[in-house]
Amino acid sequence: MLEKEDLASFKLGKILAKYPYARDFFISIGINDIDANRALRDLDINHELLEDAGLAREQLIVNFLAFINKMEKLKETSRNIVESITIIGGNDKSGNAENINLELKVGEVISVVGPTGSGKSRLLADIECLAQRDTPTNRRILLNGEVPDKNRRLSIENKLVAQLSQNMNFVMDLSVRDFIELHAESRMIDHVEIIVQEIVSCANDLAGEKFDQDTPLTQLSGGQSRALMIADTALLSLSPIVLIDEIENAGIDRRNAIELLVKEEKLVIISTHDPVLALMGGKRLVVKNGGISKVIILSEEEKRYIDILEETDRKMLSIRNHLRKGGVIDDKIIDFGAARRSPAAQ
């Protein structure tokens, strides 16, 4: 931890380079212009500002030291250590027991399937709120095999779950860069400019349409918005659980998006009607009448069909883009021969 004598003797430029959020401390007491070449103890501060803040110069240094140490401690402990969640069954809409005790581990991809209105979103909501027999389904969610502390359920700073949905649009009047910088600074991330570049580059790899750091958030398309949020969630969010609700028509590279999240040690749970996304999950939870009716483990036979479905999907995307650019449909464009071949024929 920092000592008062050390901190007071450092030049403010050095302090701000190491602890960018330190500027917020000075701004909070009305000091907006900081001489980077001066040490904290030699800083020329208006006495009226100190009086308004109720501080003597010595107390200012003590408070500043406490602020930095507290922020550093928060930074060290802010990452949530979650290895697994366990879904303990409740009941469906008819009151029938789910009879399920299912452990899901970080690094897994789980798909949730079922008809519209079957209860897929309710399952995601139960996981998001870490339900403890206090939702309509009467489910219980455990963290690392234990009942989560009440403070963790209500914590905003250490949010365990990030949710990405199909209907996601920005209303903030910020550029992409400004948005990422705000998030990075709130997480006390060093080298903000580097993380901005990484997230934008990653988002562009996922999106069908490219954008840059200066693009206003309100000008992003639906696909671009979701690509940005997936990249931001993977590379910057501390939430270890990612819930994805209906992104099949999001205009992004879905396989790479899922692989990115898994690579960053997230537990990914996808609610979907899309067969490609459904088969990306190692486990498939089938929801009927508000309850989990079945858990299906992805088989080797099903794995062989993923490439065929993806090829069909890519062909449809190619045709869609062809039409957008003013193209016409002919036999050369409509060629599903490769997609029609069975795994055995290949």
Say whether both 230 and 256 belong to one domain: yes
Overall average pLDDT of the 284-298 stretch:
95
Residue 249 sits in a domain of what CATH number?
3.40.50.300
Under 8 Å between Cβ of 261 and 229: no
Contacts of 276 (CB under 8 A, 6+ apart): 248, 254, 255, 306, 309, 310, 313
Q: What is the pLDDT of residue 78?
A: 44
Same domain assignment for residues 121 and 197: yes
Per-residue model confidence (pLDDT) at position 263: 83
Is the residue at 345 inside a domain? no
Is 46 contained in some domain? yes
Domain that residue 10 falls in = 4-77
Q: What digits encode the pLDDT tens for the residues 217-235?
A: 888 887 888 888 888 888 8
Calpha distance 318→338 (Å, rounded): 14
| Domain identity same for 248 and 279 | yes
Which one is predicted more confidently, 33 or 236? 236
Answer yes or no: is 273 within a domain.
Answer: yes
Q: What is the pLDDT of residues 98-123, one digit of tens each?
A: 999 999 998 899 999 999 899 998 99
Q: Which of 77, 98, 132 is the last residue of a domain?
A: 77
Q: Which of residues 15, 43, 77 is at a domain's end?
A: 77
Does a structural domain hold residue 14? yes
| Predicted structure pTM score | 0.67
The answer to whether residue 199 is domain-embedded is yes
Contacts of 65 by beta carbon, 8 Å cutoff, 6+ apart: 2, 3, 4, 7
pLDDT of residue 340: 45
Q: If pLDDT is split at 50, 70 and 90, which confidence band does 253 have?
A: confident
Contact 243, 128 (CB under 8 A): yes
| 60 and 188 co-located in one domain | no
Q: Is residue 207 included in any domain, yes or no?
A: yes
Q: Is pLDDT above 70 for 270? A: yes
Residue range 296-304: mean pLDDT, rounded: 90
3-state secondary structure of 238: coil
The span from the CA of 150 to the CA of 324, in Å, is 51
Of 62, 77, 92, the position where a domain reaches its end is: 77
Q: How confident is the model at residue 344 (pLDDT cuts 50, 70, 90)?
A: very low
For residue 167, the model assigns a pLDDT of: 58
Say if residue 237 is in the same domain as residue 257. Answer: yes
Same domain, 210 and 324: no
3-state SS track over 62-93: HHHHHHHHHHHHHHHHCCCCCCEEEEECCECC
Among 14-23, 70-79, 143-152, 328-337, the range scoring the smallest mean pLDDT is 70-79
pLDDT class for 88, splitting at 50, 70, 90?
A: very high
* Statement to judge: residues 256 and 332 lie in one domain: no
Task: Select from 280, 270, 279 the least CA-distant residue to 250.
Answer: 270
CA 26 to CA 64: how far, in whole Å? 9
Q: What is the mean pLDDT of residues 197-223?
A: 87
Residue 247 lies in a domain: yes
Q: Count how many domains the chain has.
A: 3
Q: Residue 247: is it exposed, middle or buried by C-beta count within 10 angstroms (0-12/13-18/19+)? A: buried
Same domain for 188 and 72, yes or no, is no
107 and 66 co-located in one domain:
no
pLDDT confidence of residue 160: 78
Beta strands (DSSP E) in the chain are: 84-88, 101-105, 109-113, 140-143, 161-165, 241-245, 267-271, 283-288, 291-297
| Pairing mode of beta strands 140-143, 84-88 | antiparallel
Do both 284 and 268 map to the same domain? yes
Q: Which of 148, 98, 143 is nearest to 123 (CA)?
A: 98
Please indicate, yes or no, if residue 128 is contained in any of the structural domains: yes
Same domain, 162 and 242: yes
Model confidence at 190, in pLDDT bands (50, 70, 90)? low
Residues 262 and 209 in one domain: yes
Q: How open is the CA angle 330-332-336, to the nearest 5 degrees? A: 105
